[in-house]
Amino acid sequence: MTGEGAESRKPDKLPQRLLTAATRLFAEYGFEGTSVQKIVEAAGVTKGALYHYFDSKDDLLRDIYGRVLRMQAEQLEKFATTQSPVAERLRNAAADVVLTSIAHLDDTKIFFRSMHQLSADNQRAVRAARRRYHEGFRTLIEEGQAVGAFRTDVPADLFVDLFFGAVHHLSIWYRHDGTLSAERIGSHFADLLLTSLRPTG
Amino acid sequence: MTGEGAESRKPDKLPQRLLTAATRLFAEYGFEGTSVQKIVEAAGVTKGALYHYFDSKDDLLRDIYGRVLRMQAEQLEKFATTQSPVAERLRNAAADVVLTSIAHLDDTKIFFRSMHQLSADNQRAVRAARRRYHEGFRTLIEEGQAVGAFRTDVPADLFVDLFFGAVHHLSIWYRHDGTLSAERIGSHFADLLLTSLRPTG
Amino acid sequence: MTGEGAESRKPDKLPQRLLTAATRLFAEYGFEGTSVQKIVEAAGVTKGALYHYFDSKDDLLRDIYGRVLRMQAEQLEKFATTQSPVAERLRNAAADVVLTSIAHLDDTKIFFRSMHQLSADNQRAVRAARRRYHEGFRTLIEEGQAVGAFRTDVPADLFVDLFFGAVHHLSIWYRHDGTLSAERIGSHFADLLLTSLRPTG
Amino acid sequence: MTGEGAESRKPDKLPQRLLTAATRLFAEYGFEGTSVQKIVEAAGVTKGALYHYFDSKDDLLRDIYGRVLRMQAEQLEKFATTQSPVAERLRNAAADVVLTSIAHLDDTKIFFRSMHQLSADNQRAVRAARRRYHEGFRTLIEEGQAVGAFRTDVPADLFVDLFFGAVHHLSIWYRHDGTLSAERIGSHFADLLLTSLRPTG
DNA sequence: CATGAATGAGGGTTCATTCAT
DNA sequence: TATGAATGAACCCTCATTCAT
């Protein structure tokens, strides 16, 4: 419909444009540091237009979280359910998490920084989804522990927290103009995770 | 340090009490989510008193960052400059980072979540101090790589980012009433860091 | 009343449906407390439809007032112009006012509560019509005073104000599920009016 | 009350000034028709000053209702508890209600027109206070009925509703520059009430 | 006839900060 | 040293109304 060719002005429908603008601004200035006025200016409309599509500023954030959670679940599904050995599945999934997190760095930033701005209900929902997501990884690790591929003297949970801590942290230090490509970081992180999982002695 | 007169009446001097209250509230509700009114109420004084000691709300945050950075530097100094082998020094320093971060969980929370609320100048200063702190760890790792104690096929920076990402993340998932003690987590994290640093066959 | 074509599809024509919805909502939430959005939702259409038939939200209110005033005038005409003695005519008219006001309680509520929302012009017009209406009653009373049926030591106006004050107040305290029927209240109120009009010894 | 002499600027403390301004504006334009901006302009301050003393716009209204209810209760107490015969006590109380309602015509206007703007809780409280107040009058009437001074074929409640309806209505038609003095109206209304209460044949 | 996206003005409220005391 | 009244700017949100379709 848009054809991304010559006609430039309205590449997206307004709700999408508003979400895009909000995502960028929330990532840069934080949720509370971003006024609705700034968002609508970035989208080139007035406040009324935003409130025509979204119930509130919180609603925007909710939608962003929903989008991220959906994407995370889809990606995990894709990598965790192949037929490869568990170590390989985990490595691929982990590398992909890094890649995807860097590809959507603004989402990643928002995800970890703005959770507490959600309503109590939405926070619960997001936490639950997040937990399921983490459990997807933990299950892989426990599977590897069960078959003797991974060490068992460290709780699987700790590996998950360690790894996702590192992923989260990407949104703080990663620069798109840096020297390390997303692929290399993903590869290294996945490698370090697998290394640290190797059975002891 | 101030010592002027007989320090007596209150359990803490007022500036200290205000900083303590602010720290707790910033950690719980975020910087923007905490009003000056709430801080002075928590400290049992009125706004005028706060503005007598601090130039602005930002000034409070700056002081909190200053306190944290000072403590981090001191702790690192303590563990990095012993005579032990580099692996042991790194392990001890890493474990201590975890312990200290958990002991001052509110500080840790604020540190990573509120950086962007600082003025540009203060942000630069904090980032510089943080970089020096990280470089202290990187130097240890590079020292280990130089003497063949650590693998060299992964940039030292990545280990640092991975580890501090995990430490940062602690402030999100760690619960004081959880099943894992701070010591065990510190030990495990340090162990995993060292394991992943082991030279590859 | 309009008759243009075959009136069929909807139980009521749209303008009528909108007025009905507006009346109910204005009575329940007040004019300012009722958004145009709520009205069109209640009528099952969209805003464009309302603005096709009505110039503005105020226009709706004007129409409601017009409808009420027309009805009041008609009812008064009906009861005041019979051939009965003046006391009986007044009693009947008064009882009917109560009955009609209760039958259209929403109208009554709106009538007294929302006058000041009308434009200055419309307010003037409504007040004038209202004055004519009251004068109809006052004329009856003065007629009774002239023929010696009613006391003359109290200005006729005061009886009118007293009585219509009571009628107005109905919209505040009357409950359709209460113990007193509209008929009994009308009968009592008319009775009390007549009693208080009885010539003093 | 203000002294309207030389010293003009600040005859009252700010909270009182704000309440006075709000009362006048609410009476003239209604609660919803009066913006906070208008109130503070009338009081010669800024919004922040208002919110320093009042929690919300509703809080202003609550205070106004509180003031009115307190005054009503005091006045009733004063007139209902004397040693005179019940008819005289009722007459005096009724005449005073009219006088007081006219003296505080803005309060009277607001009282009846803005009840539904209060929070559910406050509404309940106001209604309860109002009911107690009405019951004070009803009790007088029932006392008169019990001793044979008043007719019994009409429920006491109806007299109360009739009378207070008329009082309420005062706020709609009474003009301070009109021909009837408040005293005469009070006297007449009280007289009509007593007349209509006289035992039948 | 009717839709619904979008406007623009204004609503109530919060809050960091100042300043006379 | 500390108070608390008051400011002023910004905030999120609502809503009557318009207009291209």
D74 and D158 together in one domain: yes
**A37 Cβ contacts chain F strand, under 7 Å:** yes
Select the residue of D32, D162, D170 nearest C166 (Cβ to Cβ). D162
pLDDT band at C165 (very low <50, low <70, confident <90, very high): very high
pLDDT in tens, D166-181: 999 999 999 999 899 9
CATH number at residue C105: 1.10.357.10
The confidence score (pLDDT) of residue B67 equals: 95
Q: What is the pLDDT of residue A81?
A: 84
The band of D12, judged by pLDDT with boundaries at 50, 70 and 90, is: confident
Cβ <8 Å between C32 and D33: yes
Residues B80 and B23 in one domain: no
Say if D3 falls within a structural domain: no
Q: 3-state SS string over chain A?
A: CCCCCCCCCCCCCHHHHHHHHHHHHHHHHCCCCCCHHHHHHHHCCCHHHHHHHCCCHHHHHHHHHHHHHHHHHHHHHHHHCCCCCHHHHHHHHHHHHHHHHHHCHHHHHHHHHCHHHCCHHHHHHHHHHHHHHHHHHHHHHHHHHHCCCCCCCCCHHHHHHHHHHHHHHHHHHCCCCCCCCHHHHHHHHHHHHHHHHCCCC
Mean pLDDT on D114-131 = 92
Q: pLDDT digit of tens for each residue in chain A (201 aa)?
A: 333 333 344 457 899 999 999 999 999 999 999 999 999 999 999 999 999 999 999 999 999 999 999 999 999 989 888 899 999 999 999 999 999 999 999 999 999 999 989 988 899 999 999 999 999 999 999 999 999 999 999 999 999 999 999 999 999 999 999 899 999 999 999 999 999 999 986
Mean pLDDT, range B1-24, rounded to an integer: 70
> Would D126 be classed as within a structural domain?
yes
Taking a C-beta distance cutoff of 8 angstroms, is the pair B162, A135 a contact?
no
Asked if residue A166 is part of any domain, the answer here is yes
Let me know if residue A3 belongs to a domain.
no
How many CB atoms neighbour CB C24 within 10 A?
15
- Count of all residues that appear for chain B in the document: 201
Output the distance from D12 CA to F6 C1' rounded to whole Å. Answer: 16
Task: Give the residue numbers spanning the domain of C112.
Answer: 57-197
Instruction: Let me know whether B119 and B188 are in one domain.
Output: yes
Helices and strands, number each (H, E), in chain B = 9, 0
- Cβ-defined contact of C159 to D30 (cutoff 8 Å): no
CB atoms within 10 A of CB D167: 24
* Assigned token pair, B182: 């701070």
Helix (H, G, I), strand (E, B) or coil at C103: helix
- Is chain B in touch with chain A: ≥3 Cβ pairs within 8 A? yes
B22 residue type, one letter: A
Q: Which of the two residues, B75 and C5, has the higher pLDDT score?
A: B75
Residue B190 included in any domain = yes
Q: Closest partner residue to A169 among B113, B161, B188, by Cβ?
A: B161
Judge contact between A67 and A20, C-beta under 8 A.
no
- Quickly state the pLDDT bin for B201 (edges 50, 70, 90): low
- Structural domains in chain B (count): 2
Could you tell me which residues come within 8 angstroms of residue D21 by beta carbon, excluding any fewer than 6 positions away? Answer: D39, D40, D42, D43
D2–C contact, CB cutoff 8 A: no
What whole-number percentage of chain B has pLDDT above 90? Answer: 85
Q: How far apart, in whole angstroms, are the C-alpha atoms of residue D68 and residue D114?
A: 13
Same domain membership, residue A99 and residue A45: no
**Does A1 fall in a domain?**
no
Write the CATH number for A48: 1.10.10.60
**What does the mean pLDDT of chain D come to?**
91
Q: Which tokens belong to D24?
A: 């006048």
C8 vs A135 pLDDT, higher one: A135
Are B160 and B141 contacting, i.e. CB atoms less than 8 angstroms apart?
Answer: yes
Q: Compare all CA atoms of chain D with the CA of C195 and give the residue at the minimum distance.
A: D196
* Separation CA A65–CA A13 (nearest Å): 20
Residues D141 and D155 in one domain: yes
Q: Are residues D154 and D102 in the same domain?
A: yes
Contact with chain A for residue B162, Cβ under 8 A: yes
pLDDT of D81 higher than 80: yes
Q: Annotate B133-158 with b (16+ C-beta within 10 A) or e (fewer).
A: bbebbbebbbbbbeeebbbeebbbbb
pTM above 0.95, yes or no: no
Residues C107 and C169 in one domain: yes
Q: Which of residues 168-197 of B touch A (CB under 8 A)?
A: 168-170, 172-173, 180, 185, 188-189, 191-193, 195-196
Report pLDDT digits (tens) over D18-74.
Answer: 999 999 999 999 999 999 999 999 999 999 999 999 999 999 999 999 999 999 999
Residue B11 has pLDDT above 80, yes or no: no
Quote the tokens at residue A25. Answer: 């601004």
Per-residue pLDDT tens over the stretch B31-62? 999 999 999 999 999 999 999 999 999 999 99
Are the C-beta atoms of D63 and D53 separated by less than 8 Å?
A: no
**Is the pLDDT reported for residue D9 higher than 50?**
no
Which of B57, B123, B162 to mutate against chain A (most A CBs within 10 Å)? B162
Region of residue A15 (left: phi > 0; alpha: psi -120 to 50; beta: else): alpha
* Nearest residue, CB atoms, B113 vs list A113, A154, A162: A113
Are residues B187 and B143 both part of a single domain?
A: yes
- Kindly identify which residue of chain D lies nearest to residue C110, measuring between CA atoms: D113
Within a 10 A sphere around the Cβ of A8, how many other Cβ atoms?
A: 8
Q: Are residues B68 and B35 in the same domain?
A: no
Q: Which residue type does C89 have? A: R
pLDDT at D10: 46
Interface A:D, ≥3 CB–CB pairs < 8 Å: no
Distance from residue A58's CA to nucleotide E5's C1', rounded to whole Å: 21
Closest listed residue to residue B117, CA positions, set A174, A36, A57, A33? A33
State the pLDDT confidence band at B80, using cuts at 50, 70 and 90: confident
